[in-house]
Structure 1
Amino acid sequence: MSVSMLGQPWLEASATRAVMAALEAAGGPDCARFVGGCVRNSLLGRPVDDIDIATRLRPEETVAALKAAGLKAVPTGIEHGTITGVSERKPYEITTLRRDVETDGRRAVVAFTEDWAEDAARRDFRLNALYADAAGRVFDPTGGGLADAAEGRIVFVGEAETRIREDYLRILRFFRFQAWYGRGEPDPTGLAACAALKDGMARLSAERVSKELLKLLAAVDPRPSVRAMAETGVLAVVLPDVQPLDLFEATCGLTDDPVMRLSALLPDDAAVVVRIAQDLRLSNAVRDRMAAAVAEGPVVTPDMTGAATRAAIYRLGRAAFEDRLTRAEAMSGRDGAALRRLATAWTPPSMPVGGRDLARLGRTPGPETGRILKAFEDGWIADDFPTDGHEDRLKSLMASLG
């Protein structure tokens, strides 16, 4: 069966043509082919973000070819055969054909080859082992990649357990690709291999695990894949503190935010969330956001009053308020759209008084200053942020607090 990607904008772009022309000038016709996601997504009508190229040229030959054509060459992973070519400011990851010499479940020692089939044999899934030449002609060395892509099957190249033992991250990738590209039930052979070898994920770095997990949770509907992860025990290996999936299931119906979806898998305890985030080596921003969604503070419910909503937004900040509202909607099944609109439209005012106002009224700066201002702020919030009467309130507080 002849398949072509001719007509793809990225394929026919001048920047892409310049890179392929440079490689072919050095290595002849068929020395370079597009591979992986750009081919798969083009066939499926999905957006193409990154363009990867496989080549028979050795890394040093790739560098020379790019420079000879006036293109930039960056040795981003030269020990594994990868050079990033830059054409019209666009990056192209160019990797020499490889075969694995030694693997330890995390990384591989590779040897370069000129055999397309050998290169395909070391890839994870058949739909990711599709290649295309500069003219857009598609090649399927495994014999199953085209059918898998068309029918929504995620099938390991060769023996599933062998592929997983080469890199245990492929367990998570199996569920991630199932979430993004799969249709129907996961491949039973692959699923069984993931279940049998799940404990090998303990060898992986936390950064690789969290990156793959967040990509999985960014799928349009990750729920079937996460259910399969839970049923096979894979999810408990990744998240030992994982909670029942009810909140997660509901949250996925409300937001496509992978951070909120991850939060819904974790306990409703800020200290535990912080520990898990640190174990996963998540960024400080993500850690703090997930902790703020469950930390002590104003209770957010979808049916709270406007005044209570404004008070919560003021104390929590808009982002934390909206995250708590999402959790509350998922827990209760009630709609908080009106409160979300209020949060978007309302700008919290600044505290209208400060230490100078107290000094002007004769209060000497000291420990009592903070107490008075805190009491003022609490009353001002409780009264729904009045815009006047501040001096009278301060005087009253000064008299009552001594």
Structure 2
Amino acid sequence: MISILKNNKTLTTFSFYSSFLKQVALYIKDKNDIKFKLVENGDNLIFDSNYRIDPITIPLLLSLIEQLSKFYKKPIELSLFNNHATKDVLKFLHKSDFFYLSGNNKNPYFPYGRKILDFNEAYLGNFAKKDPRPEHRVRCYSLNDNNLSEKLKIFKDEDERRDFLISEYIYTVREHFQELLFDNISTAEDTDFYIEILSELITNGVLHSKSNTFALMFVNRYSTKFSISDNGIGFEESLKSKNESYIYKPSELKHKLDKIKILKVNDKVLNNLNFIMETLYFSTLKNRRGLFDLMASVVLDTNGYFRLHNDNAQIIISSRMRNELLELRKLRDRLFQYYMEIIINEIEDDRFKEEMVSIKNEILEYFVQLYCILCDKYNNDFKYSSIRFYSVKFKGVHIEVEIPAV
């Protein structure tokens, strides 16, 4: 069996990508099946063991387990242990709805079970009375819930389907995360902004990735963290569905990046990085707030961290890229303002078309510059670079954000 939690080591997003995924891949390569146990030592060494998990790793873990359950066409077996060493982490996972969501729950007062894990529920009990915060729960969003798939069939246009889903999710997202956003000064003043973007990202996950989307937000006295994870079609396939317009030509940035031979890495892996950049570029050209706006706000306004993972590649953007992001956000805001004037004043696009295309071309060149800077820093010191490459492909799109408390 593979241990999810190792003794005296916190399962963070970094350890998940860098070591846990590799362990799973090697196990699958040698075995015809896969089984997990929650903790390394089980019922042994209970007074010498300590297990911890970073809460925002939970959506990643659920995405991986869902992928495995689809591959093996059955729920994945998970061995649980309830003892002195495991009770705290077991209780947190239980109270965060991890087990309800991943198991076979049919109780309407708890999240509907996705049947991706098989475990003994008898181990879930006899916890200390003090409960974790009730808002610290993992959420699952799916077109299979609330009859959404059927409701979407009445819309023929992609934009209409998107608008309908956003209108559905914006109330749900507010209910799930508003209280947590209020608890950090950095997010409290922009609660509506974050709710709007989270609704957009969740809509992207369930509509374009064609999969379940898992999300969790966690707040303590040091920071607000949230994670959104799906195991869908990824950026490359999603971008193939985008139509050409006067403001966007599909893969326009990527074609430029493919010609820049700075990094000596496998072409397939590099392709994943270039599609991350193309996605962020596309996001700056949209008429609604989205992925780029989240990244810019987190880094520039709160000195936080933004991580975006696609297949084998990941970027980590922090205040070290402040100067480059500032210029990009200025251009993005100018372009967005034109969109608002078009919508509010109900005027024709042609009036601003030339200026909008000019801004778009500036954005394109700044993204090329940003890419070159990121690559140069990777070549100089890859350990502390904003770019990460992993030997194991993790299907889908995975977003993690950390916003420091003021």
Q: Structure with the greater relative contact order (CA < 8 A, sep ≥ 6): 1 or 2?
A: 2
**Would you say same fold, with TM above 0.5?**
no
What TM-score, normalized to structure 1?
0.28
Tell which structure's C-alpha radius of gyration is larger. 1
